[in-house]
A and B are shown apart, each in its own frame.
Chain A
Amino acid sequence: QSALTQPASVSGSPGQSITISCTGTSSDVGSYNLVSWYQQHPGKAPKLMIYEGSKRPSGVSNRFSGSKSGNTASLTISGLQAEDEADYYCCSYAGSSRRVFGGGTKLTVL
């Protein structure tokens, strides 16, 4: 099972919006509406930001949103803030209880 494809890095200025893509295949992202997104600050555990493609857990800012088209899922962060600087990982269900993660995207807030 190959990892999902994410850009290695993205950047934006405070107040701007950025989008991180996550490309899989018809066996994972394309087959299920079960993509989740995680934020990880250096030395910390990952934190769930989006689940089932576009749903936000309680306590997560509405500046974070998710979507999917075909085999590609996307995470959009609007109104960028300094504390959004972190690594972001997508994850998709891949059948038979298996999950596959993306390689991660480093977000830099300029």
Chain B
Amino acid sequence: EVQLVESGGGLVQPGGSLRLSCAASGFTFSSYWMSWVRQAPGKGLEWVANIKQDGSEKYYVDSVKGRFTISRDNAKNSLYLQMNSLRAEDTAVYYCARDSDLGYCSGGSCYSYGWFDPWGQGTLVTVSS
């Protein structure tokens, strides 16, 4: 069974840092792009970041660029999200999601373009003083 399990969420003060983890099982982790998607309380979904199979390409939504870093360890079948300089508006449930095994390369960069399946159960990050 394909499974994604997030951990590392919690309460943090504005300006603080937090590192989320996602443990993958049931599929060949190193064959897939992986993404983080978040959902603020009572709000919709927002794609946050994704990372190529070998970790060589990373992309972020504008609102987290320079503050969040996505990474992965294929030997441990794990995905990470390092979140620094946290703001109140970063408060959300953060989901780990398997992205595509598809991609294309153009102009020296490679991109994923697929769908998200499956998703983890999510981990809640609350930024508040």
Chain A residues near B (Cβ < 8 Å): 1, 3, 32, 34, 36, 38, 45-48, 51-52, 57, 89, 91, 93, 95-104
Contact = CB atoms under 8 A, between A and B. Distances in A.
A45 B95 CA distance: 8
B47 A99 contact: yes
Nearest to B106: A96
Interface string B9-50: 000000000000000000000000101010000001111001
Interface of B: 33, 35, 37, 44-47, 50, 57, 59, 61-62, 95, 109, 111-122
Contacts of B121: 45
B57 to A, nearest CB: 7
A97 B120 contact: no
B114 A51 contact: yes
B73 to A, nearest CB: 20
Contacts of B111: 95-97
A48 B122 CA distance: 15
A34 B113 contact: yes
A46 B119 contact: yes
Contacts of A51: 114-115, 117
Contacts of B37: 46
Contacts of A46: 37, 45, 95, 116, 119
B117 A97 contact: no
A96 to B, nearest CB: 6
Given A97-B111, A98-B61, A47 B119 contact: yes
Given A97-B50, A98-B61, A52 B115 contact: yes
Nearest to A48: B117
A1 B118 CA distance: 24
Given A95-B111, A98-B61, 11 more contacts: A1-B62, A34-B114, A45-B95, A45-B120, A51-B114, A89-B45, A96-B59, A97-B50, A101-B44, A101-B47, A104-B44
A101 B92 CA distance: 16
